[in-house]
Amino acid sequence: MAPVEFTVTGGEGSPLDFVAALTPASSLVVITDPGGWAQVSQGLAVGSTTSAVVTTEVRVLRFAVLDLRHFSSASSLPSLSDVPGDVVALHDTRSWDSAPVVASLRGLGRPVVLFTAVHTWVSGVDASSALIGWSAPHVVLAVPRGSGEGRLEDVLWQFRELERRGAMTYTSLPAPPVVADRAVTVMVALPGATEGIAGALRPGADYEVWARVGAHNTVLPGDLGLRAVLSMPGRPVQAESFVLPAEGPSSWVSFEVTTPYASVPWTGELVIYHGVVPVHVQQVVLPVGAGESRTVPRLKLSRTFADLAPTPSRAASILVLGDRALVSAGGVPSWVSLAGCALPLPALSGLDPWYGKDFPAYCADLAFLARQGSAVYSRLFGDLGLADAVRRAARVTGRPAGLMVASPGTGSVPWPMIYDLPFEDGPHRLCASVGQFGPFGAGGEVPAHCPVADHSGNVLCPFGFWGLSSVLEHPAGPLVARVSPRPWPFEMTMAVDAGMDRGLTDRHVTELMSQISPESVSSAYVTPAELGRVLAGESMDVVHLHFREGFLDAEEIARWDREGVWPRPHWPVRKPLVVGTSPMAGLVSSFVEHGASGVISPEVAVPQDMAGWVTGMVLSRLASGLSAGEALRQVRWEMLSRGNVMGLAYALYGSADLRVR
């Protein structure tokens, strides 16, 4: 075959994003993308086929996957006819000619994505084909003008030459479709019935409450094991396991209930758990005496269930709903009351110029917090085995346990300060970790759990605090795993309140520039009104708000949305993490509802200079690739190494797994 000529353009996104955009209109896509092949071939055994589901910005792609390198000839290939997939992903081989296999699949109406080396000649390309390469930071797209053979090496050379001459044109990805939330349906039926009923329920009567996760056009990577939990006032909490299939709705789960004798709206909660994570929470109102059944959404940590990992990774969760919480550590969840759980911080006075304290003052601060944190833990979770579940997970996995506190809004309990070891007033002993990881200690890498086995008696240990022992998260909305799916350089927008101390602000900026690339930071002094325009576009991975407490309120953010300062949808693809230097409890829900992936901020006001120091440490770790949960945990330990316990005053409102890329 003769070489073909190409029409070459460029685009921004990932190669697999453009595969989703080009197929099925292009029945052959030739691509060089080792990372993409790693995604689609995950779990592929030698000599076999598999099906893989990959979520892209454009749509969800299901691949039928076959690695031709595992076979000596076309005649030894297994059949792909029964392997589901929108497209067939093949990895090319140099041992024999794969063109007839590709042509056969195309003839059967199955688009082919052929992963190959950049210098390999591929025959059988034509006008219904496309070649995709990579020339950072752009994806290179090429469409043959005729039929023949081609190689990606020539396409990339043509792209770079056109780019050098300023003659390159760029193709945008189609806008991602608006994804509707997956519905969770609740229905009431008579015992043993096969159909639901409508209308009022009789007082003191027996019924069944049915629930199921509905169908959705999003395909899951595989069947998902979930658990439905129904809690109605005056009745024991009930739990039923079920499977959500990769496609279609789940089967119904059923709960037996007896209505109260009073004719009142009977209000409870239905929670869908993935492991211990409450991914969907809705209020259930059953009309005893009069009215109609209804449900009210309360919290969604996943909109479609497609972003949930096959294996849950958290050790325990606390679902906060007003002044009570539903606690799950593997068994049937239990309710606890949160009334009167405020924990004050020790005095900030006595910090040295390096934001630290000496060893006696550090121990006194730890003991002050441990006394209060232990009392709260005993009152809330005394017999639930939560501490055992967290420590067991750390020992088994060799990683800090994941601990989730999920809530539709911010609460009053400072969860990082909870201390899950017994500790009372009076004589106590110091765990060796107090000295090793405190000021002037030996330090070293912080392990997943305390290296000291004996914690009997009245013992003070930093690993007793949840903020130090666990990777703690407080999601207030859907869990986001990546700020941006695109391989752009790290970018941060810093907005500064002009009322802050100018000298301390300049020092903070100088320190920040030494921790992350100066080219990645844009900054400006702004008013609240100007801030809305600064944050309107998808131009940053992190929004750093260097503000006084009260500088910005939720009503101002609502005005940006209402008056069109922020487009709709806002931050639909690149979902920045908001990092603040002052408390942002009233702003978390507003930012998350408008597209932010999460918020990191202190829960109490801290001095401006120390707030800048802490923020710089968090941002440098995020920029280096750490997850948000691990970054904040490391910063808490870094502060502790100077005798500063104020890291326990910081919270992550978002997924602990969140990374910039």
Per-residue pLDDT reduced to its tens digit, 569-612: 898 888 999 999 999 888 999 999 999 999 999 988 888 999 99
Q: What is the per-residue DSSP string for 134-159?
A: EETTEEEEEEESSSEEE-HHHHHHHH
Torsion of CA 448, 453, 456, 461, to 10 degrees: -40
Summarize the confidence of residues 419-436 as an average pLDDT: 93
pLDDT at 271: 97
Q: Render pLDDT for 288-333 as a digit per residue (tens, 0 to 9).
A: 999 999 999 999 999 999 888 877 789 999 999 988 999 999 889 9
Determine the CATH number of domain 184-311: 2.60.40.10
Q: Render pLDDT for 601-660 as a digit per residue (tens, 0 to 9).
A: 998 888 899 999 999 999 999 999 999 999 999 999 999 999 999 999 999 999 999 999
User: pTM of the prediction?
Assistant: 0.79
Q: Render pLDDT for 10-20 as a digit per residue (tens, 0 to 9).
A: 988 889 999 99
- Axis crossing angle, helix 608-623 with helix 502-515, rounded to the nearest 10: 20
**Model confidence at 54: pLDDT above 90:** no
pLDDT at 26: 93
Q: Render pLDDT for 168-202 as a digit per residue (tens, 0 to 9).
A: 888 888 876 677 899 999 999 999 999 999 999 99
pLDDT at 13: 84
Q: What percent of the chain has pLDDT over 90?
A: 67
pLDDT at 411: 67
Helices (H) then strands (E): counts for the chain: 14, 32
* Distance of alpha carbon 187 from alpha carbon 423, whole angstroms: 48
pLDDT at 550: 86
Residue boundaries of the structural domains of the chain: 18-165, 184-311, 336-473, 492-654
pLDDT at 315: 93
| Residue corresponding to tokens 């009152």 | 379
Distances in Å between the Cα of 619 and the Cα atoms of 510, 595, 606 are 14, 20, 18
pLDDT at 423: 93
Beta-sheet pairing, 148-150 with 138-144: unpaired
pLDDT at 632: 97
CATH topology for the 492-654 domain: Rossmann fold (3.40.50)
**Model confidence at 140: pLDDT above 80:** yes
**Model confidence at 523: pLDDT above 90:** no
Which residues neighbour 104 within 8 Å (Cβ) at sequence distance 6 or greater? Answer: none
Range 580-583 contact pairs with CB under 8 angstroms and sequence separation of 24 or more: 580/544, 580/545, 580/547, 581/545, 581/546, 581/547, 581/606, 581/608, 581/611, 581/612, 581/615, 582/545, 582/547, 582/548, 582/549, 582/551, 582/606, 582/611, 583/549
pLDDT at 177: 67
